[in-house]
Amino acid sequence: MICTWARRAPALFCLLLLAAVRPAGAAAADRADTTGSAPAWIEGRGENEIVLIHGLGANASIWDDLYPFLSGSFRVYRYELHGHGSTAPLPHATVAAEVAALREWIVAQDLVYPTLVGHGLGGMIAMQYTFDHPADVQRLIMIDAGPRQLADQQQKVEVATRLVEEYDRFVASQFINLSPLPEVNERAVDMALRTDSTTFASLLLSSFDWDLTEELPRQSVPMLVIGSQFYLPEEGSERQYLEQYGFGAARVLNFKRIAQTGHYLMLEKPAYLASVIAVWVRQEELE
């Protein structure tokens, strides 16, 4: 099962399989040091706070090209998932554990009513956090992410087998086609192979049965879904794809499709993505 950036109707499952389990002790030898605690990269000014959360197999640096376009009007924080980049792994990494860690981090940073922006798995974590703490989140923005996993049991077994038998080749095959830009694909593969393998495995497995679709109708926090052409392949059919991904029961669904992009919008069109985020946040402030 290979995910290509132009594939018709890509399953959200593909977006979460960007990297995964490697046998214990077989993490890439030259991956980044993970001895620190979750860092707080803070840039910008203004009263409104935005927290950027990267996806599985990436790290906080993925927002480097985007945050300068937001920092003129917002205080921008970049949260790095544990076991990614320079942040130490959690003892037992799961989506729920990362949500709890995000809560501790937000409290430690003394953030009040921030907007959460999550990409891929980071979008899942941001959504779960928002649903758990709706009074503490001003807005939720999800990039190429949805409220449920789409993998069936056969897919799970097939992927788990390939990860055990041909980890490096399989991971590279998943990352190498997520963007129309070769340099972005190469960077994505490099980040994925430098991520803590145990963390990958735990987060991926914990996401298999993740589903918030039944909670959607009860949520009132303003939510925007930003989709790449990878995520929303056909202009004019966005709602059909979003329903497929689990958004059908949402009370209000705001969405924006960014054409001619792969999964890594923040690397491919950072200024445009930042403008979409900023315009929606300001529009919500005025309403």
What pLDDT, on the 0 to 100 scale, is given for residue 169?
Answer: 83
Domains of the chain from N-terminus onward: 12-21+35-286 (3.40.50.1820)
- The per-residue b/e assignment along 239-265, b for 16 or more CB within 10 angstroms, e otherwise, is eebbeebbbebbeebebbbbeebbbbb
Whole-model pTM?
A: 0.86
What does the pLDDT read at residue 8?
36
| Residue 205: predicted pLDDT | 76
φ, ψ dihedrals at 195, nearest 5°: -85, 145
Task: Please report, for the chain, how many H helices and E strands are present, in that order.
Answer: 10, 7
Q: CA quadruple 147, 150, 152, 153: dihedral positive or negative?
A: negative
The pLDDT of residue 251 is: 87
CA distance 108 to 43: 17
Contact status, residue 240 vs residue 149, Cβ threshold 8 Å: no
Q: What is the pLDDT of residue 55?
A: 95
Contact 246, 213 (CB under 8 A): yes
CB of 171 closer than 8 Å to CB of 189: yes
Reference 76, options 130, 121, 115, 36; nearest CA is 115
How confident is the chain (287 residues) per 10-residue block, as mean pLDDT? 38 42 32 42 70 95 94 92 94 93 94 95 96 96 91 80 79 86 95 87 81 93 95 95 92 93 97 96 66
